Structure 1
Amino acid sequence: MPHTPSGVVDADVVVVGAGPAGSATATHLARRGLDVALLEKTTFPREKVCGDGLTPRATRQLIRLGIDTSTEAGWLHNRGLRIYGGGGQPFHLDWPDLADFPPYGLVRPRSDFDDLLARNAVAAGATLYEQANVVEPVLDARSDRIVGVRCKDGREFRAPLVVAADGNSTRLSVAMGIAKRDDRPMGVAVRTYYTSPRSDDDYLESWLELWDGPPGSSNLLPGYGWIFGMGDGTSNVGLGILNTSSAFGHTDYKALLKAWLDTTPEEWGYRDENMTAPVRGAALPMGFNRQPHYSRGLLLVGDSGGMVNPFNGEGIAYAMEAGEYAADAMTDAHRRGVGTPQAERALQGYPTRLKAELGGYYRLGGIFVKLIGDPRVMRLCTRYGLPRRTLMRFTLKLLANLTDAREGDVMDKVINQLSRLAPAA
């Protein structure tokens, strides 16, 4: 990667942010022969607030990136979802057996996961620059297109195309005038870790009803909870609240987490004395809440473009998928000559593809979060839906977006048709 005499680094593409979105984008670009500068504002390994659980959809993208997802490589596999709700025994649902997706999910801490993906991008040919804290775009005075970025320490990285993979706050997108849409769903999640005998668990665990005392005879709390065994003697435990809930923005999330966990059996270990990390929170930008995903040489990937699934709060799978779509569009644009009308058509293909693949499904998700924002609806769903295995299998496929595109069963065809008929988000 050339350095000009002024200290500016030139590349074919600058990717800002080395989380799953940025590292996946950089990997696919480098494999297609482009010169990629991957910028990370901190140094690896570093923490991120996350549930650490991955569905088969995310697993598929890791395999496409060439990541070894075996247990021998340090991954904890899971076989499905255990659901608590409705006052009865937990309900177990295995991941569906599909042609388009592997039959297992994964668990891995984000501090290790993000480091692994960044090193994978480097192995593919990208150049990683850590402690590169981007503060502003560099614009071409004539075209007003982005042609690079400037870091806090004065370094500049120049390229005809730039990727904003810098998370929900996405200072780069904001500086380029791409505003957040308030008509799209938003969530907030908090999580921490506890030492627990439930650490080795081959199911991800979801709690659809949270109570501040004995279940069924106390106050129902807003939101949903999760417990994911990490396989290292600890569990990742957290909860999320959607902005369709009246409690959004008016809740002490740490107290809410404690109130719920105090109702779980003491022998599980989810008490303050077993907590191994502070309670930390993060925003969940959903349903394409920042658009356009391509403008004036800048492509938005992952949380910067609001790509979290409204149905289940999953963001990593879609960040990595979008990274591959963006890499396809940028590679095509480079072949056509960036700056030409032909290249612009290729780049506009990126948001078009996103809407075609996910827009209708995300619109359905927006309707879903409005419904479950009413606790009465959530109570009815858990009470009357959980005992019905066929309905729950359908719900799992819908919420996790796990269907076969062509030769699927009746459930797959219904979900796929609903997504096609819904207007794009």
Structure 2
Amino acid sequence: MNAKNHDFDLIIVGAGPAGFACAYQLRNQDLKIAIIDQATFPRDKICGDALSADVVNQLYRMDQSLGEKFESFAQKIDSHGVRFVAPNHSFLDINYQNPNHGNAAGYISKRIDFDHFLFHQIKNQSNIEVFQSEKVLDIRRNAEGIELKTDKRQLIARMMIGADGAHSIVNRKLGSIKVEKDHYCAGIRQYFEGVTGFHANQHIELHFYKELLPGYFWIFPLPNGQANVGLGMLSSEVSKKKIDLKKALSDLIQSKPDLKERFKNAKALEKPQGFGLPIGSKKRPISGDRFLLLGDAASLIDPFTGEGIGNALRSGRIASEYIFKAFKNQNFTADYLRKYDQMVYHKMWNELRISRRIQMLLRYPKLFNFVVNRANKNSSVRTLLTSMLDNVDLKKELVKPKFYLKLFFGG
């Protein structure tokens, strides 16, 4: 499988969770791999910083020792649940169910720390060469392979992986995913210290204020008494309502009575940072001749929660299987690699589709208020909603009219 007239067998653009997972799974294969990232680690990644149970599970699926290393990783805190705040300001606390590994079903860790932890696991692998602080300027495909030009060098490989995020140059040069405002979210994040009023079990908080729907405002506790605060909205809504996200974030903190009290002694640690989230609310082609797209570059972010790390890791893990097969069979054609698309959507589409429908239900604030009020009064409803967090089949019930009819009539 070794490269002959190529510098590398495989070039992975992007060293975040998706690129990491792909490289890690191929670390013991007879493949010469290059990873190129425009930043130098440790580096920040604008994100909510919450790590779901699926993130932990993906690490364990890749390697038991990797999961165990993460469990002992110090730069994180346990999170044992989520608080949903309805448009009428009533709230519902839901505890995560028992984790499959470790002491918590969820964690929160700054991406500068979590991504550096992942990066540390691959940077010294014998078949992997890492190029940091190199910006990819151009990518061209020919009959022999794919040529890549950075601001420092030119390389050619048999195959390329786009794990370079929402603004992927691999997708731009080789793929066909376009930004569609109704399938894209705009987000903004700001770190604070001194925010008060967190749940004792460090629940993450999702506040569904009427003016943001179908988006939400979030507050996530962080290590060292800090907090990740932000909001995300569909780009189509931002455009239609002409919303300035930075101003909206500041206005919410200063005007909402429940927030104003909690932030009265808080200190902002940075200016608001904007970012884009290409959500997985429609199927798209995520492969082609000699390339695969992973994670955010493949638009695999959950439409309802905005969470993308678990799917990034999963897509990298799945991609490694099809990369190995492609080299084994010396077949890098679009037709052959389309099997990757099929497997990704086989594993993820059901949940992505349901999450999109739940996102659309958020356009009806009275419905959200009703569900939260019923759950607070009825332990059976609360138990059902808890189970829905991790069970896709149960989550389907949320998009069926009969679920709300049962709630209305006390079923």
Q: TM-score, normalised by structure 1?
A: 0.80
- Tell me what 1:202 maps to: 201
Give the Cα–Cα distance (whole angstroms) in 1 for the partners of residues 103 and 288 of structure 2.
Answer: 35
- Tell me what 2:403 maps to: none
Q: What number of residue pairs does the alignment pair up?
A: 389
By percentage of residues, which structure has more helix? Answer: 2
| Partner-residue secondary structure (3-state), 1:193 | strand
- Tell me what 2:107 maps to: 106
8 Å Cα contact 2:212/2:233 also seen in 1: no
**1:74 is matched by which residue type in structure 2?**
Q
- Tell me what 1:352 maps to: 342
1:299 CA displacement = 0.2
The change in CA–CA distance for 1:305 and 1:393 in structure 2 (over 3 A counts) is farther
The change in CA–CA distance for 1:83 and 1:164 in structure 2 (over 3 A counts) is same
Question: Which deviations, in whole Å up to 9, do the C-alpha atoms of 1:164-214 show, x marking residues without a partner?
Answer: 111111122111251326386221211111112648963332233337xxx
Question: Which deviations, in whole Å up to 9, do the C-alpha atoms of 1:122-150 show, x marking residues without a partner?
Answer: 2444221102211221311xx4x752311
- Tell me what 2:138 maps to: 136
1:381 CA displacement = 4.2
- Tell me what 1:214 maps to: none
Give the Cα–Cα distance (whole angstroms) in 2 for the partners of residues 88 and 184 of structure 1.
Answer: 27
**1:17 is matched by which residue type in structure 2?**
G
319-328 vs 235-244, which moves further:
235-244
1:113 CA displacement = 1.6
- Tell me what 2:225 maps to: 233
1:362 to 334, 349, 352: 352
- Tell me what 1:96 maps to: 97
The change in CA–CA distance for 1:376 and 1:94 in structure 2 (over 3 A counts) is closer
Question: Which deviations, in whole Å up to 9, do the C-alpha atoms of 1:310-364 show, x marking residues without a partner?
Answer: 121100110010000000110121122244x7x963x322111011111222222
1:60 CA displacement = 1.4
1:369 CA displacement = 2.1
The change in CA–CA distance for 1:182 and 1:38 in structure 2 (over 3 A counts) is same
1:166 and 2:160 equivalent? no
8 Å Cα contact 1:197/1:268 also seen in 2: yes
Give the Cα–Cα distance (whole angstroms) in 1 for the partners of residues 326 and 20 of structure 2.
Answer: 20
Q: TM-score, normalised by structure 2?
A: 0.83
Give the Cα–Cα distance (whole angstroms) in 1 for the partners of residues 351 and 89 of structure 2.
Answer: 31
| Partner-residue secondary structure (3-state), 1:41 | coil
8 Å Cα contact 2:81/2:201 also seen in 1: yes
Is there any run of 5+ residues in structure 2 with no aligned partner, and where? Answer: 400-411
| Partner-residue secondary structure (3-state), 1:159 | strand
1:110 CA displacement = 1.0
8 Å Cα contact 1:48/1:111 also seen in 2: yes
1:383 CA displacement = 4.5
The change in CA–CA distance for 1:200 and 1:133 in structure 2 (over 3 A counts) is farther
- After TM superposition, list the pairs within 5 Å mapping 1:242-281 onto structure 2: 242-243=234-235, 245=237, 250-262=242-254, 263=256, 264=258, 268-269=262-263, 274-281=267-274
The change in CA–CA distance for 1:328 and 1:393 in structure 2 (over 3 A counts) is farther
8 Å Cα contact 1:200/1:231 also seen in 2: no
The change in CA–CA distance for 1:413 and 1:367 in structure 2 (over 3 A counts) is closer
- After TM superposition, list the pairs within 5 Å mapping 1:50-199 onto structure 2: 50-65=47-62, 66-67=66-67, 68-70=69-71, 73-85=74-86, 87=88, 90-97=91-98, 103-125=104-126, 126-140=128-142, 143=143, 147-153=146-152, 155-180=153-178, 182=180, 185-196=183-194, 198=196
The change in CA–CA distance for 1:242 and 1:396 in structure 2 (over 3 A counts) is farther
**2:249 is matched by which residue type in structure 1?**
L
1:306 CA displacement = 0.4
| Partner-residue secondary structure (3-state), 2:70 | coil
- Tell me what 1:286 maps to: 279
The change in CA–CA distance for 1:202 and 1:285 in structure 2 (over 3 A counts) is same
| Partner-residue secondary structure (3-state), 1:97 | coil
**1:258 is matched by which residue type in structure 2?**
S
8 Å Cα contact 2:82/2:205 also seen in 1: yes
Give the Cα–Cα distance (whole angstroms) in 1 for the partners of residues 236 and 367 of structure 2.
Answer: 12
8 Å Cα contact 1:166/1:304 also seen in 2: yes
- After TM superposition, list the pairs within 5 Å mapping 1:276-425 onto structure 2: 276-287=269-280, 291-339=284-332, 345=336, 347-384=337-374, 387-398=377-388, 400=389, 402-403=390-391, 413-415=393-395
Give the Cα–Cα distance (whole angstroms) in 1 for the partners of residues 184 and 219 of structure 2.
Answer: 21
**1:269 is matched by which residue type in structure 2?**
F
Measured on the aligned residues, the alpha-carbon RMSD in Å equals 3.3
Question: Which deviations, in whole Å up to 9, do the C-alpha atoms of 1:63-112 show, x marking residues without a partner?
Answer: 33414223563321111112223656643212123659985211111112
| Partner-residue secondary structure (3-state), 2:82 | strand
**2:310 is matched by which residue type in structure 1?**
A
| Partner-residue secondary structure (3-state), 1:24 | helix
8 Å Cα contact 1:201/1:231 also seen in 2: no
- Tell me what 2:402 maps to: none
Question: Which deviations, in whole Å up to 9, do the C-alpha atoms of 1:229-287 show, x marking residues without a partner?
Answer: 1121211111111246476662111221122222335563366x610111111111111
